[in-house]
Amino acid sequence: MTELFAAALFVFVLVTALATAALRDVLGVVVVFAAYSLGTALFYAFLLAPDVAMTEAAIGAGVTTLLLLLTLAKTVRPTPDQRLERPNLPALAVFGALFVVLVATVVEFPAVGEPGVMWDNPGVTQYYIENAYEDTGVENAVTAVLAGYRGFDTFGEAVVVFSAGIASLIVLRQVVFTRE
Amino acid sequence: MSNNSSDSDSSPGDWTTDSPMVSNPAESTYVESQVIMTTVRAVTPFSLTYGLFLMFHGADSPGGSFQGGAIIAATVLMIAFAFGVAPTREWLRNRTVVALAAGGTAAFALVGLVPMAFGDSFLAHPLFEEEFGINTKWGLEAIEVGGVAPIVAGVLVGLFFVLAAGMFRDGDATEPRTDGGAANHNRATRSRTGEEGSPTPSTGTEARTDDAGMPAEDTTTGTGGDR
């Protein structure tokens, strides 16, 4: 049952990803991309990464889609002369090579949920798994890593998000986010 | 200027010319829908609660303040789509959005700097326990709830409103932004300025480009007419 669900989800994500790349109509691409993002979020949840799944669902499927739709409403939308994008052969060749390399690494991973897997870097990953609660008092190990062990990285990310807000004001030549 | 002129010179068949470079289409294309408004009314209390739950409970369950802040921002975006961007933008003041984003960044940095003041490293949370007897956990909670969540929520909401307001194009600085959008189309701008004897010369593209660089007054006065 779970295998069937995973296989169906995989096909769904694959089809929506291909449709995102192949479709010419921009509005169609935005809608299909949102579906792809939702499928990916389910996939992350299936792979026991609920934190990443929530981020993907909220940012990828939700907010990004709204922002892209808003951008489409603000601009003119060219009516596509054909339904599908013509494939670029050199790009396809590069993609094929990259695909082979990535698949070669994927088959080396241990199965999802396999018990007794020791990570190759016990000094880092295994340390977090074993000591995160004693060190930080936080039950969610992801939060312990993000806010504790890797707090400085998170600070950099937070500053990047803040800078993105400022940069959008500058690029769009506005001075305020909302009306006073 | 080059992209603007190419827009107006392109053949109309290639583009959906019904709304060329509309200034505020988020307002003008807004259609009041009973279904969407009822749905959003029903959903927003729960999504806001869920966002707050993820934010405050992220340390002990899946989720976290990034996800919580994003869902809180998505709640505001839903309200804006159901009830119109303009009323939402007036309800949520600029000061609030800026305070969330900038205050979150400052709070994050401040929590990190406190251990440095006591001679430890940046964001060394265990110091809180050693110096003040505060559990290490609250240092992590402080940067999650006080830092990351407000930044994400503020920036996402601000990004949405900035995109909804649109970009200042060359005609915008001289034309009020409430002219139904047609004023921003280059051809329309030229004909209007020519007929009404506006101080901006119709051929003075350089002057208009310079005006567009200082949109400060026009933002507030021009958009204020929408109310």
Which residue has better confidence, B227 or A137? A137
Over the stretch A88-97, which tens digit does the pLDDT of each residue have?
Answer: 899 999 999 9
Over the stretch B170-202, which tens digit does the pLDDT of each residue have?
Answer: 444 443 444 344 334 443 334 444 444 444 444
Side chain identity at residue A100, one-letter code: V
Contact A174 B165 (CB under 8 A): yes
pLDDT at B201: 42
- How much is the average pLDDT of B44-49? 94
**Structural domain boundaries in chain A:** 1-116
Q: Cα(A139)–Cα(A133) distance, rounded to whole angstroms?
A: 6
Q: Does residue B18 carry a pLDDT above 50?
A: no
pLDDT at A30: 93
Which residue has better confidence, B198 or A124? A124
Q: Cα(A78)–Cα(B36) distance, rounded to whole angstroms?
A: 28
Q: Cα(B153)–Cα(B70) distance, rounded to whole angstroms?
A: 6
* Residue A179 binned pLDDT confidence (cut-offs 50, 70, 90): low
Contact B90 A179 (CB under 8 A): yes
Distance from CA of A58 to the nearest CA of B (A): 6
Mean pLDDT in chain B?
Answer: 69
Q: Which two tokens stand for residue A48?
A: 């026991």
Q: Which two tokens stand for residue B87?
A: 């009323």
Cβ-based neighbour number of residue A48 at 10 Å:
11
Size of interface A-B (CB pairs under 8 A): 204
Q: Cα(B223)–Cα(B165) distance, rounded to whole angstroms?
A: 9
Q: Which two tokens stand for residue B91?
A: 């309800």
What is the DSSP annotation of B178-191? TSTTGGGSHHHHHH
Testing the interface with B: which of A51, A131, A135, A177 to mutate, by most B Cβ within 10 A? A177
Q: Which two tokens stand for residue B63?
A: 């989720």
Q: Cα(A51)–Cα(B64) distance, rounded to whole angstroms?
A: 7
Its pTM surpasses 0.90: no
Over the stretch B53-80, which tens digit does the pLDDT of each residue have?
Answer: 998 888 888 888 889 999 999 999 989 8
**Residue recorded with tokens 């009404």:** B196
Residues of A in contact with B102 (CB under 8 A): 162
The alpha carbon of B38 is separated from its chain's Cα centroid by a whole number of angstroms, namely 24
Q: How far is the first Cα of chain A from the last one, in angstroms, to the nearest whole number?
A: 55
Q: Which of A50, A76, A161 sits opposite B16 (nearest CB)?
A: A76
Closest CA to B156 of B94, B77, B226: B77
Residues of A in contact with B109 (CB under 8 A): 155
Contact A180 B220 (CB under 8 A): yes
B70 at the A interface (CB within 8 A)? yes
- B159-162's contacts with Cβ under 8 Å and 24+ in sequence apart are B159/A67, B159/A164, B159/A165, B159/A168, B160/A63, B160/A66, B160/A67, B160/A70, B160/B73, B160/B76, B160/B77, B160/B80, B161/A177, B161/A178, B161/B80, B161/B85, B161/B89, B161/B92, B161/B97, B162/A168, B162/A169, B162/A172, B162/A174, B162/A177
Q: Cα(B185)–Cα(B222) distance, rounded to whole angstroms?
A: 17
**Side-chain half-sphere exposure of B227, counting CA atoms within 13 A:** 11
**Considering just the CA atoms, what is the radius of gyration of chain A in Å?**
21
**Residue recorded with tokens 């709204």:** A66
Identify the DSSP state of A78.
B
Over the stretch B140-159, which tens digit does the pLDDT of each residue have?
Answer: 888 888 889 999 999 999 88
- How much is the average pLDDT of A14-29? 90
Q: Cα(B160)–Cα(B184) distance, rounded to whole angstroms?
A: 21
Identify the DSSP state of A82.
S
Q: Nearest-CA residue of chain A relative to B168?
A: A173
Which residue has better confidence, B207 or B165? B165
Which residue has better confidence, B142 or B203? B142
Q: Nearest-CA residue of chain B relative to A153?
A: B123
Which residue has better confidence, B167 or B133? B133
pLDDT at A162: 92
**Structural domain boundaries in chain B:** 27-165, 167-227
Quick check: ipTM above 0.85? no
Over the stretch A54-80, which tens digit does the pLDDT of each residue have?
Answer: 999 999 888 999 889 888 888 877 777
Q: Which of A49-58, B7-16, B118-127 has the lowest mean pLDDT?
A: B7-16
pLDDT at A14: 93
Q: Does residue B2 carry a pLDDT above 80?
A: no
pLDDT at B72: 92
Q: Decide: helix, strand or coil at residue A84.
A: strand
